[in-house]
Structure 1
Amino acid sequence: MVKRNKILFKNIDWGVVIIYIIMIFFGYMNLYSVSPEKAEKQLIWILFSFVFIFIVFLFKPIHYKHIAPFFFLFTLFLLIGVFFFGKNINGSKSWYVFGPISFQPSELAKISTSLIIAHVMSQENIENNHKALFHIFIILVLPAFLIFLQPDPGSSIVFSSFLLTLYREGLSISFLLYFLFYIFLFVVSLNLSPWIVILLLFIIFIFFFLFKIKKNTSLADLFFYIFLFISFSVFSIFSPFFFQKFFKQHHKDRINILFQNEFDRKYRDNVGYNLLYSKTAIGSGKFFGKGYKKGTVTKGKFVPEQHTDYIFCTVGEEWGFIGSVILIIFYLLFISRIYFLSERQKDVFGRIFGYSVGNIFFIHIIINLGMVMGLFPTIGIVMPFFSYGGSSLWSFTVLLFIFIKMDSSDQTSLI
C-alpha cells in the first residue's frame, strides 16, 4: 500500500503543494480569529479536501480529457436545475441544499469549463480559426449566462479569466481590448448620458480614422471600424436599461457606491457598511498589525461577511501591511509557479488546462482584493483557501490537483 501511494504521488511538484498547504493553514488561522465556530466546520472541509486530492490522483490525465464533454454537460444540467430545485440564499438561487450540506454548482462549472476548453483547444488551433473561436465563446457564455441569471454576477465574471487562456493560445490582443472597452463603456454609461458617450465615441472614431487608418485600408476594414462604432454606441444606449432590468437592487447599490462614497448617509448604514469597516480594519492594522486575535474590528464583528468575501481585512488588521504584502507575494509565487508548470507541459491539453487554473486563481485574487479595498463592487468573489465555505475550497483544490496530476505524468502519453 505504501509503495502504491509512492507511485501515485510520484514526481509531483512539491513547491506548489507546499504553498497550497501554507495558504490553507494561514487561511484557517485567520478564519479561526473571525469565527471559531465556522473554523471548526472549515477544518472538516479541509480534511475532506485531502480525500478529494487522493481521489483526483486515482485517475489518469487521459481520463479527464475523455470525460470533459460529459462533465461539462452535467454541470450545465446542474446550473439549469438550480432554478427549479435550488434554494435562495442572500438573494441568489445558486445553491442545492441537502440537509446540513449545501452545494454551489457554479464552483463545479469552473472545473468542467477548464477541462472542456482544454479539450476543444487541444484539437483545434484558434489562431485565424473563426469557427473554433466561435465554438469556444459559446462554451464560455453558456455557464456564465446561467450563473448570471441566478443572479450571481460575481461568479459569472470569473469566466472572463478564460480570455487570458485564449490569449496565450493565439487570440488577438484586440479581442481582449474590445472586451475591456465594453466593460469601460458599461460603467461610463451608468454615470453619463448615452448621447454624451456616443459623442465621445464619435470623436475617438474620427481621431482613429484620421491618424491610424492608412490609405490602403480595404473597404472591408472600413466597414469593420464602422461596425465597431455602431456596436459600441448601441451597447452604451442599452447598458442603463440592462442595468436596471437585470440587476437586483443590492447589486445596483454595490456598483453605484464605487462612484459615490461609503460614508454617504445613503449607503453608510446599509450597503456601504461592509466596505466602510473593511477599510477601517485594514487601515487600523498599520505597518505591523495589531497581532493575532487582537483586531478590535474583527473581535467586534463589525464586518458582517468577514468570514467569506471580506476575510482579507482580518489579515490587514491583525498582520498589518507586512502580513498583507507577504500574503500577496505568496499568491504571486503560487500563480507564477502554475504558469511555469503550464508552459513546460508537453501535451497541449495539460498546458491549456494549467493556464485556465492559474487564470481563475488570478481573477479571484485580484477582484477579492479590489472588493475589500473599494476598487471593485462587492460581487461575492471569495479569496482562495481563505474564505469560509466547502464548495469553493473543494473546487479550488480539485482544480489545482488535477493539474498537479497532469504535470506529474508523462505528458506525451497522458498516463
Structure 2
Amino acid sequence: MIKRNKILLRNIDWVIVTIYIFIIFFGCMNLYSVSSEKAEKQLIWILLSFFFIFFIFLFKPIHYKDFTPFFFLLTLFLLIGVFFFGKNVNGSKSWYVFGSISFQPSELSKISTSLMVAHLMSQNNVKNKKILTCIILIIPAFLIFIQPDPGSSIVFSSFILTLYREGLSIYFILYFLFSILLFVISLYIYPWIIVSFLLIIFFCFFFVKKKNISFFDLFYYIFLFIFFSFISIYSTFFSQKFLKQHHRDRINILFQNEFDRKYRDNVGYNLLYSKTAIGSGKFFGKGYQKGTVTKGKFVPEQHTDYIFCTVGEEWGFIGSIIFIAFYLFFISRIYFLSERQKDVFGRIFGYSVGNIILTHFIINLGMVMGLFPTIGIVLPFFSYGGSSLWSFTILLFIFVRIDALDQTNFI
C-alpha cells in the first residue's frame, strides 16, 4: 500500500497542481486589495479546498464511474428543489441558504454533468448514446436557465466542444455560433425573419453530409438541428417579449457607448469603471494595493465577476498578459493530459473540465473588457466565493486523480 501511494504521488501532474496553487493565492492577493475581510474568508475556503482534494484522492476512478448516475440524479433533485426551498438573490432563485452558509446547486451540476457525459459516452453497450448525451445536457441547462440564471446555463454550451472531440460535426458548432448571432440580431429586427435563415442552414447541412448515413445518426442530427432551431426561435421570441429593459440594455451597450447618459449611471456603470481601472494600469500597473479605482470601490461586484480589473489596474498590461498566459497554459495542460488518457472515460471527462474552465475564462474576461454582456460568470479559482472555488477544485482534482491512476494502470 505504501509503495502504491508513492507511485501515485509520483504520477500526479505537479504542473497542474503548481499552477492551481499559484492562481488561487494570486487571486486571494488581489481580493485583499478589494476587501481584506473577503480575502480572509477566501483564504479559509482555500484551506478547506485542500481537504476536498484529500477526500477526492481516497477514491478510485471506478468509484466515480459507479456512482455517477446517482450523483447526477441528486443534482437534478437539488436543481428542482431550489424552486421550492431556494432563496431569491438578485432576482434569481438559485441558492440554498442555511444560516450563514449558502450553496448554489448549479455549481455542483457542472461536476455531475461532466461525469455523466463521460460515463455515458464511454459505454460501448448503450444504443443512441449521442441522443441520450444531448438530453443529459439539456435537462440541467434548462432547469438553471428558468431559475433564471442564464449565465450558468450558457456554460453548458462548452460541452459542444467535448462532443466535437468525440466526433460531432463541425457544422453543428458553426450552426450554434450562428444561432447566437441571430439572437443578437433579433434585438433589432423582427425574430421570425430568421426562419428563412434556419431553412437555408438545414438544406446546406444535409447537402454536405455523406449519403451513406445510418438511421440513428440521421435521427441524431435531426434532433440536434431541431433543438438548436428551437433554441434560436425561442430565444429570439424571448428577447422580444420577455427580456426586461435592463437585460436588453446589457446587450445593447456592447454596440454603443457606456459613457452615454442612458447607460453610464445604471447598466453601464460596472463596465465604465472596469475599463477605467484596466486602462489606468497602463503598461506596468500602479502597484500592488495602489489602485485608486479599486481602493475607491467604484466597481460593484469587483470581488467576484469583475476581479480581473484589479489585475489590470495594479499589475498593468504586462501583469495581465502574464496572468492570461499562465491561465491558458493551465487549460492547455488539461487538454494535453486528457489526450493521453488510456481510458475513454478519463479523456472525455478531462475535455469537459478544460472546456468548462475555458468558457468561464473567455466570458469573464469578455465581460470585464466589454466584449460580452454582464451575465454573472466568475473567473475560476480567482473570483471570491466558496461554492465556486470548491466546485472548480473538485472538478479539477477528480481529473488529476483519474490521470494519476491512469498512468499507473490502477484504474
TM over 0.5: yes
Match of 1:387 in 2: 383
Q: What letter matches 1:243 in structure 2?
A: S
Distance 2:118 2:198 in 1: 37
SS at match of 2:57: helix
Q: What letter matches 2:146 in structure 1?
A: L
Distance 1:230 1:165 in 2: 20
Task: Please say if residues 341 and 406 of structure 2, whose CA atoms lie closer than 8 Å, have aligned partners that are also in contact.
Answer: no
SS at match of 2:406: coil
Could you list the per-position Cα deviations for residues 245-276 of structure 1 after superposition, in whole angstroms to 9, with x for gaps in the alignment? 45455433322322332122121101110001
In the TM superposition, 1:279-318 aligns within 5 A as 279-318=275-314
Instruction: Indicate whether 1:193 and 2:154 are aligned.
Output: no
Identity over the aligned pairs, expressed in percent?
A: 78
**Quick one: structure 1 residues 142 and 411, their matched pair in 2 at CA, closer, same or farther if it must change by over 3 Å?**
farther
Match of 1:24 in 2: 24
Match of 2:393 in 1: 397
Q: What letter matches 1:376 in structure 2?
A: F
Task: Please say if residues 72 and 116 of structure 2, whose CA atoms lie closer than 8 Å, have aligned partners that are also in contact.
Answer: yes
Q: What TM-score does the superposition give when structure 1 sets the normalisation length?
A: 0.89
Q: What letter matches 1:16 in structure 2?
A: I
**Quick one: structure 1 residues 173 and 226, their matched pair in 2 at CA, closer, same or farther if it must change by over 3 Å?**
closer
In the TM superposition, 1:56-205 aligns within 5 A as 56-124=56-124, 131-194=128-191, 197=194
Task: Please say if residues 345 and 407 of structure 1, whose CA atoms lie closer than 8 Å, have aligned partners that are also in contact.
Answer: yes
- Indicate which of 274, 277, 291 corresponds to 1:278: 274
Q: What letter matches 1:50 in structure 2?
A: F
SS at match of 1:43: helix
Task: Please say if residues 270 and 300 of structure 2, whose CA atoms lie closer than 8 Å, have aligned partners that are also in contact.
Answer: yes
**Quick one: structure 1 residues 237 and 286, their matched pair in 2 at CA, closer, same or farther if it must change by over 3 Å?**
same
Distance 1:349 1:233 in 2: 30
Distance 2:116 2:50 in 1: 25
Task: Please say if residues 371 and 377 of structure 1, whose CA atoms lie closer than 8 Å, have aligned partners that are also in contact.
Answer: yes
Task: Please say if residues 275 and 369 of structure 2, whose CA atoms lie closer than 8 Å, have aligned partners that are also in contact.
Answer: yes
Task: Please say if residues 19 and 330 of structure 2, whose CA atoms lie closer than 8 Å, have aligned partners that are also in contact.
Answer: yes
Q: What letter matches 2:348 in structure 1?
A: I
SS at match of 1:9: helix
Task: Please say if residues 72 and 113 of structure 1, whose CA atoms lie closer than 8 Å, have aligned partners that are also in contact.
Answer: yes
Distance 1:288 1:112 in 2: 42
**Quick one: structure 1 residues 199 and 174, their matched pair in 2 at CA, closer, same or farther if it must change by over 3 Å?**
closer
For structure 2, the residue ranges without an aligned partner over 5 or more in a row are: 216-220
Q: What letter matches 2:94 in structure 1?
A: S
SS at match of 1:96: strand
**Quick one: structure 1 residues 414 and 181, their matched pair in 2 at CA, closer, same or farther if it must change by over 3 Å?**
farther
Q: CA deviation at 1:413?
A: 5.4
Q: CA deviation at 1:5?
A: 6.6
Q: What TM-score does the superposition give when structure 2 sets the normalisation length?
A: 0.90
SS at match of 1:410: helix
Match of 1:252 in 2: 248
Distance 2:234 2:135 in 1: 22
Task: Please say if residues 258 and 264 of structure 2, whose CA atoms lie closer than 8 Å, have aligned partners that are also in contact.
Answer: yes
Task: Please say if residues 315 and 324 of structure 1, whose CA atoms lie closer than 8 Å, have aligned partners that are also in contact.
Answer: yes
**Quick one: structure 1 residues 44 and 8, their matched pair in 2 at CA, closer, same or farther if it must change by over 3 Å?**
farther
**Quick one: structure 1 residues 217 and 46, their matched pair in 2 at CA, closer, same or farther if it must change by over 3 Å?**
closer
**Quick one: structure 1 residues 13 and 206, their matched pair in 2 at CA, closer, same or farther if it must change by over 3 Å?**
closer
Distance 2:7 2:222 in 1: 60
Match of 2:316 in 1: 320
Task: Please say if residues 8 and 57 of structure 1, whose CA atoms lie closer than 8 Å, have aligned partners that are also in contact.
Answer: no
Q: CA deviation at 1:386?
A: 1.1
Distance 2:185 2:334 in 1: 35
Q: CA deviation at 1:232?
A: 8.7
Distance 2:246 2:341 in 1: 44
**Quick one: structure 1 residues 343 and 296, their matched pair in 2 at CA, closer, same or farther if it must change by over 3 Å?**
same
Distance 1:349 1:136 in 2: 14
Match of 2:218 in 1: none
Q: CA deviation at 1:397?
A: 0.5
Could you list the per-position Cα deviations for residues 6-31 of structure 1 after superposition, in whole angstroms to 9, with x for gaps in the alignment? 56634201011000011011101001
Q: What letter matches 2:186 in structure 1?
A: S
Distance 1:62 1:397 in 2: 20
Q: CA deviation at 1:201?
A: 6.9
Distance 1:402 1:231 in 2: 31
Q: Kindly report the root-mean-square deviation, in angstroms, between the aligned alpha carbons of the 2 structures.
A: 3.1
**Quick one: structure 1 residues 102 and 236, their matched pair in 2 at CA, closer, same or farther if it must change by over 3 Å?**
closer
Task: Please say if residues 350 and 411 of structure 1, whose CA atoms lie closer than 8 Å, have aligned partners that are also in contact.
Answer: no
**Quick one: structure 1 residues 290 and 343, their matched pair in 2 at CA, closer, same or farther if it must change by over 3 Å?**
same
Distance 1:410 1:76 in 2: 30
